[in-house]
Structure 1
Amino acid sequence: MIMSTSKRKIEHLNFCAHSPVESRKKGTGFEDITLIHRALPEINMDEIDLSTQFLGKDFSAPFMIASITGGHEDTIPVNRSLAKAAEKMGVGIGVGSQRAAIEDPAQEESFRVVREEAPNAFVYGNIGAAQIKEYGVEVVEKLVDMIDADAMAVHLNFLQEAVQPEGDRNASGSLEAISEICSLDVPVIVKETGSGIPHEDAVLLKKAGVSAIDVGGVGGTSWSGVEFYRAKDRDDLRSQLLGEIFWDHGIPTAPDIMECDVSLPLIATGGIRSGLDIAKSLALGADIASAALPFVEPALKNEQEVVDTLSDIIYQLKVAMFLCGCKTINELHHVPVVVTGWTREYLLQRGFEINKSSTR
C-alpha cells in the first residue's frame, strides 16, 4: 500500500526530532575555513548592523528558517511557532513541501498558518521538481497564492527519492519544468536538500532563469538517513541498506558555496549550526544562510524556544563580525579567509581558485 504524503510528512518530522539524522562521516567543510581574526577590530560591537536585503525583501539578519514541515494537522502548531519567531526576529522562513496540500486540500491550513503568523516576513513556498512536471505551472501558482509567498522554492531531492520505496526516480525533464515556472510573478529558488549542487548544474539553473540557488550541502540533515529509519521501522532491508550507503553522499556545504558561485543570489544551507557558520558562509560567497534541524525540537515546544535559538545564533554572528572588524554584512562579504584540509584539496581538484582574500 502506498503511504499518503501527509502521513510521510509527520514521520519525517518525528524522525528529525528524535533520531540522529545528521551527516556522520562528512562535515560541512566549515571546519576547514578560517576567518582572519582582527586583534584590533576598531569598531563598537553594539553598533554592528546585521540588516540585509534578499530578493528585494528586508531582513534584520542574513538568515532564514529553512523548510521544515507542513502537510499534516499535527504540523500546524509547529509551523505556527516557527512563523511567529521568524516574524519577531525579522528573518525569513520557508514552508515544507506543499505536495500534501495538492493531494489533499484539507492540509492547506498547515501551510497558510505561516503567512498568517508572519505577515511581514519573507516567506517562500516549496514544491519538488517532480511535482512541477506532474501538475504544471497553474498548480504552482496556486501554491504561491496559498501562502502569499514572496518566492517559490523548487527542491531537488533525488537522493531521497532513490532511497524511498515510494520515491519518484524519473528526473528527466526537471530542468525544462523549472524553466517553465520561472515565468511566475515571484522569484524562483532552486534548493537541494542535503547533497549539494555542483557548478555544472548551477550554470544550467542560471540559464534556465532561476532567481537564486540554495546549495543544500552535506553536513546537516541526511534525508537518506531519515529514510534509513523509516525503512528500519517497516523491515525494508533493501531501503535500509541504501539509506546507510548513501547517508553522506554529496558535496559538503562550504565548498558547495564556491561551486554555486554563478552570480546569482546564494543561500547557504546544510549543517549551519552557529553564527560563526553563517559568517563563514557569507565570507565564502553566500548572501544569506538558513537551517532547519536546530529549530525542530524548539518548535515542538513553543514559540519562545524558537526565538531563543534564533537569538543565540544571531548574537554569535554579531560576535564573529566583531572579531573580524566588520560593521556591516557587506564588509563581511570581503573578509579574508584561509581554506585548509580536505576542503582545500576538494576545491583544487575541482579547479577553483582559493588563494584570494575573498570569493567576491
Structure 2
Amino acid sequence: MTTAKRKLDHIRICLEKEVEGPWRPFDDLSLVHRALPGIDAGDIDTGCRFLGKDLAFPFMISGMTGGHPDTKEINVNLALAAQEVGVAMGVGSQRAALERAEVEDTFSAVRDAAPKIPIVGNIGAVQLRRGGAEVIDRLAEMIDADAIAVHLNFLQESVQPEGETEAKDAIEAIRAASDRRVPIIAKETGAGISREDALSLMESGVEIIDVGGLGGTSWSGVEAYRAEERSDIESAKMGRIFWNWGIPTPVSVIECACVGASVVSSGGVRSGIDIAKSIALGASLAGAALPFLAPATEGPYGVAEALRVYERALRTAMFLTATKSISDLGSAPILVFGRTREFLEQRGFDPRKFAIHREMSR
C-alpha cells in the first residue's frame, strides 16, 4: 500500500469511527477556582511567543495530513483558520512528498495560506534515520517551516503489517540532525514521552518536546480499524490490545517539563480548560488535531470558530483562576486526582506540590 493511500485511510477512519479511548486523563485535573479574581477579564493577556513568532494564545493545530491530492484542501483550510486566529500549525508526515514530488504542494500550500504563523514540518524517526540529517533542511525548505517535528510512532508502527520498527539508531539520527537550519521538535503520537526519554532527547540537542500522550486519538485503534477492513484479524487484535497503551498526557507533560524541556501538551486536549491545565502543569503550549478535522473538510470558517471557542474558554479559565498572563497561569494551583495521581506517585512525583500556588511553595 502506498503512503498516500494509507494517509487517506487514516483521515477517513478518524472522520467515521470512534478513535478515542474511554479515559480522559484531563478529567483527573481541577484548577482552583477564585471567587475574587482581583483582575478584570479585559486585562487578561493570552498571548505568547513560539518559535520566534507571536501567537494569540498558546496553541497549535497538530499535524494531521498531506501527501495525497485530496488532502490539500484540508491543509489549506486549517492554515487559513490558524492564520486568522493566530495559532501555530503542524502538517502531517511529509514522507509522501519525499517519495513523490508531485504531492509537495499538499504541504507547501500551508505556508502560502498562512505566511505569518509558525509552521511545523513532520517526518518519522525511521525516515530521518534513512534519509540522513540533510532531510531536515529539505523538508523545511519545502514548506518554509519554522521547525520540524520528528515523530516517534513506534506503537502505531508495531501494529501495522507494513510498519517500520527500526528504532535502534533513532536517537543518533535525531542527534545528528539537531543543528540543522531549523530546530527539531520530538513528537509522540498518542503514547507519551517519559522522563527517561526526555533526558535522552535533550542530551541529543532537542529542546522542544510534543508529548502526544495517552488520552486522545489512539493510532493503535485507527490501525485496528484498518486491519479489520482488510480482514487482517491478527493485526486488528493487536491494535485493540494496545488501544490504551501509553503515558497519560498530563503525566508526560510533568515528566518532560521536570527535566527542563519546553513542552507542547497534546493528546486529548479538547478545550481551552485543557490548555489552561496543561500550562499549570508546566507546558508552554498545547495542541490538538482531531477536533478540527471534520470542520476542515467543509472550509476554514468552522475551524476558526472552533479555535475561538478554545481561546474563549482559556481566557475564562484564566479569569476564574486569577491569572492575568500565561506566565501567571504557569504557577496556578491545580489538583490531581484518580488514575493520573496514582500514575504520578508511582513514578516518584508528589502531586501535592501542584495544589498550592508555586510562589507559596518555594
Shorter-chain TM-score: which interval? over 0.9
Return the TM-score normalized by structure 1.
0.97
Q: Hey, what does 2:82 align to over in structure 1?
A: 86
Tell me if structure 2 keeps the 8 A contact 1:38–1:323: yes
Tell me if structure 2 keeps the 8 A contact 1:38–1:325: yes
The alpha-carbon deviation at position 210 of structure 1 amounts to 0.5
Residue 267 (structure 2) aligned to one of 266, 270, 275:
270
Tell me if structure 1 keeps the 8 A contact 2:249–2:267: yes
Distance 2:49 2:80 in 1: 20
Output the amino acid matched with 2:65: T
Residue-by-residue CA offset, 1:54-113 (whole Å, 9 max, x unaligned): 232211100000001000000010000000000001100000000000011111000001
Q: Hey, what does 2:235 align to over in structure 1?
A: 239
Residue 16 (structure 1) aligned to one of 5, 10, 14:
14
Mapping 1:41-190, distance limit 5 Å = 41-190=37-186
Aligned length: 356
Q: Hey, what does 1:295 align to over in structure 2?
A: 292
Output the amino acid matched with 1:170: E
Distance 1:214 1:306 in 2: 22
Residue 226 (structure 1) aligned to one of 214, 222, 237:
222
Q: Hey, what does 1:317 align to over in structure 2?
A: 314
The alpha-carbon deviation at position 359 of structure 1 amounts to 7.0
Distance 2:233 2:144 in 1: 42
Residue 352 (structure 1) aligned to one of 349, 352, 355:
349
Return the TM-score normalized by structure 2.
0.97
Distance 2:194 2:277 in 1: 19
Residue-by-residue CA offset, 1:125-179 (whole Å, 9 max, x unaligned): 0000000111112222111100000011000000000001111011110000010
Q: Hey, what does 2:276 align to over in structure 1?
A: 279
Tell me if structure 2 keeps the 8 A contact 1:285–1:359: no
Residue 253 (structure 2) aligned to one of 257, 261, 265:
257
Paired residue secondary structure (2:294): helix
Tell me if structure 1 keeps the 8 A contact 2:134–2:177: no
Gaps of at least 5 residues in structure 1 are: none
The answer to whether residue 320 in structure 2 is matched with residue 331 in structure 1 is no
Tell me if structure 2 keeps the 8 A contact 1:68–1:94: yes
Mapping 1:204-219, distance limit 5 Å = 204-219=200-215
Residue-by-residue CA offset, 1:297-345 (whole Å, 9 max, x unaligned): 0000110010011011110101100100111111100101111221111
**Bigger CA drift: 285-294 or 335-344?**
335-344
Distance 2:357 2:170 in 1: 33
Paired residue secondary structure (2:187): strand
Gaps of at least 5 residues in structure 2 are: none
Paired residue secondary structure (1:273): coil
Tell me if structure 1 keeps the 8 A contact 2:88–2:118: yes
| Cα distance, 1:51–1:6 mapped onto 2, change above 3 Å | same
Paired residue secondary structure (2:75): helix
Paired residue secondary structure (2:351): coil
